[in-house]
Structure 1
Amino acid sequence: MADRTSSSITIGADRKAIMSVIADFPSYPEWAAQVKTADVLETGEDGRATRVRFVLDAGVIRDEYVLGYEWDGDAEVRWRIVRPGRMISGLTGAYRLTEVTGGTEVAYELAVDLAVPMPGLIKRRAEKVIVDTALKELKRRVEAR
């Protein structure tokens, strides 16, 4: 995984409120449009998920895979693929939360590898859409609480 796509958004809430939404995987289908199910398979000592099985339906990409998570309190969460799907062969990413005036800046980075060849420009454009959509959906979910 060479290139990563990243973006950020400011959300009108503190890090704890935002991270609680990020950590609530079973609720993802309610607000993350492309996630059909997110089942927690393992949790760590802090009660947060360390392995989650996702079923994704993103139009041309329909897949099931497992991600492993590492948490740094309410400041950061990183993930990587631990069981690839049929189409998604690699996936790493992170949310980094920094408190700013008026809320929290949420930086999101993502790198996706597909089992099918895809030109780099198209892949990066697709990653950009995924990242921007995820940030907007997260903001809407957190600020509606």
Structure 2
Amino acid sequence: MAVRASREIVIDAPPEAIIEALADVESVPSWSSVHKRAEVVDTYPDGRPHHVKVTVKVVGIVDTEVLEYHWGRDWLVWDADKTVQQHAQHVEYTLHREGEDKTRVRFDITLEPWAPLPEFLVSRARKKVLKAATEGLRTRVMGSVGADPAT
């Protein structure tokens, strides 16, 4: 049975800064508590990640996934096929500009675990993933907005 979760937040930054932070996938373990490793396997001609190998740990469950990324100007989608722990995974970040330097970020995830999980584990995992995907992203973006690129 598929597990779904979503959350929206507003980040005080333009969509371009958020997409840039998401494109820096190798830094994701520094701001997402569920990501233990992230490695770009290959890129699109514009340099953005195409396939990314990640190791994640959520509520004691460890999984290694190869994600296929697709990019738009104000969105990011990734999909994972079968892994040790999942039949499939689909994630979407959708960005909507709200003024000059504010962006509404919507994060949606759907995954199909190999085996049924107790609801208390699903609930804990959902909270942890949503917090990492939104609040962690906000921390990463706000730490880089206005930062001097030479430092």
What displacement does 1:41 show?
0.8
Report what 1:90 is aligned to.
88
TM-score, with structure 1 as normaliser:
0.88
Name the SS for the 1:69 alignment partner.
strand
The CA RMSD measured in Å over matched residues stands at 1.9
Alpha-carbon distance, 1:88 to partner: 2.5
Question: Conserved in 2, the CA contact under 8 Å of 1:110 and 1:127?
Answer: no
Structure showing greater Rg: 2
Per the alignment, residue 131 of structure 2 pairs with 132
CA distance in 1, matches of 2:52, 2:39: 5
| Structure 1 consecutive aligned stretches of length 4 or more whose deviation exceeds 4 Å | 119-122
Deviation at 1:39, TM superposition (A): 0.7
In structure 1, distance between residues paired with 2:33 and 2:3: 25
1:26 alignment counterpart: 26
Between the two proteins, the alignment pairs up a number of residues equal to 143
Matches within 5 A, 1:1-145: 4-73=4-73, 75-82=74-81, 84-101=82-99, 102-119=101-118, 123=122, 126-145=125-144
What whole-Å deviation, never above 9, does each CA across 1:59-101 have from its counterpart, x for those lacking one?
Answer: 421010111111012x00111113x321122110100011103
Deviation at 1:105, TM superposition (A): 0.5
CA contact 1:65–1:88 (8 Å) conserved in 2? no
Deviations 1:11-36 (A, max 9, x none): 01101111111110111111111211
Over 3 Å counting, the alpha-carbon distance change for 1:88 and 1:59 in structure 2 is: same
- Distance in 1 (CA, whole Å) between partners of 2:91 and 2:106 is 10
Which moves more between the two structures, 85-94 or 118-127?
118-127
Q: Tell me how far apart the structure 1 counterparts of residues 121 and 29 of structure 2 sit (CA, whole Å).
A: 26
The alpha-carbon distance between structure 1 residues 144 and 136, as it changes in their structure 2 partners (threshold 3 A), is: same
Residue range with higher mean Cα deviation, 35-44 or 112-121: 112-121
Q: 3-state SS of the aligned residue for 2:47?
A: coil
CA distance 1:4–1:59, shift in 2 (3 Å): closer
Structure 2 unpaired stretches of 5+: 145-151
Q: Determine the C-alpha separation between the residues in 1 that align with 2:31 and 2:127.
A: 18
Return 123-132 or 87-96, whichever deviates more: 123-132
CA separation of 1:65/1:113 partners in 2, compared to 1, >3 Å: closer, same or farther? same
